[in-house]
Chains A and B, each alone.
Chain A
Amino acid sequence: MNLDQFKPLTVYTIYIASTPEKVWEALTSAEFSRKYFSGFAVEVEPKLGGTFNVRAPDGSEHISGEVFEYDPPRKLTVTWNVNWPDLVEKLGTTLVTYEIEPAGEAVRLTMSERHDRHLSDDILSGGRTGWPAILSGLKSLLETGKAPQIKMSPPMKMLEALKAMAIRTP
């Protein structure tokens, strides 16, 4: 995989009153992710080349990939491939990177979603709608001890754009 071909098409930065270690844990453990990520469980094998999965509340593997950069508690890059038939073949691999940097008494978390080809705003709208909700919830969880329930509607624009590309969606 040639990293130079991957460009960040969605970037979201958020500051959290926490430590890099706690932000890392919240991003990589199912116990935390279920609380802020609509019940989804993040499972990371903690090493370079390890497996990366996001399991839906029904237990199915919604996203699978592998650990591409592993530098706790500073940087994690994973391949983030949604398990819908033909999706990866037609849209290419998605890379998600979390960068965690101390910023005074807070931590700056930057999420970049990178792709190796041009994708339409409609295709990208799924992530652009989802990330702010997920990371707002993560921030609340770490700062107040509870994650608000942010109930998202299905990303219709994205689903229609996938359908137009003959990518089957559930």
Chain B
Amino acid sequence: MARPEFVYVTYIETTPEKLWDALTKSEFTKQYWFGAEVRSDWKVGSPFALLLDGETTDSGEILEADPPRRLSYSFKHQKFEELRGEPISRVVFTIEPFGALVRLTVLHDGFVEGSKYLGAVSNGWPAILSGLKSLLERGKVLAIPRAALNKGFDAK
């Protein structure tokens, strides 16, 4: 049985520093994360929040911050009733130079077997990270409808 976790790797023509900024500054996340803002001072132990239309959808705390190499925070859903009961999960971003590119690995783990939350994030991350890659490589995000995030809570 596969572990209940989501892993996504993407290669981006950018620098580790620019990618770090794109992950930690709302001026960037608002463009590719379907309007979401990130709030934190990015110091280990500090609070982290993700806001959509001014409302906190997920929150946690910074677990690791080693710019521009590794960032990790805990992640607990706040918005949808059916996801609120799930355990606190964890997101880890690993940024590695790869020739002229940067390899970004996103690990989202800490789910229970059969987690609906895992299904939701498995639909969401590819859309978010595809937009991030487009933003950094061509200065423009993809016009993906927000419905792509809500394809359903079950992983494909």
Contact = CB atoms under 8 A, between A and B. Distances in A.
Contacts of B145: 103-104
B100 A136 contact: no
B12 A17 contact: no
Nearest to A134: B11
Contact of B11 (A12, A144, A150): A150
A147 B10 CA distance: 14
Contacts of A105: 142-144
Contacts of B137: 140, 143-144
Interface residues of A, number: 26
Interface in A133-170: 133, 136-137, 139-140, 143-144, 148-151
B131 A15 contact: yes
Nearest to A18: B142
Given A106-B142, A110-B156, A148-B13, A14 B130 contact: yes
Interface of A: 11-17, 103-106, 108, 110, 129, 132-133, 136-137, 139-140, 143-144, 148-151
Given A14-B126, A17-B142, A140-B137, 5 more contacts: A12-B8, A15-B130, A16-B142, A103-B144, A106-B130
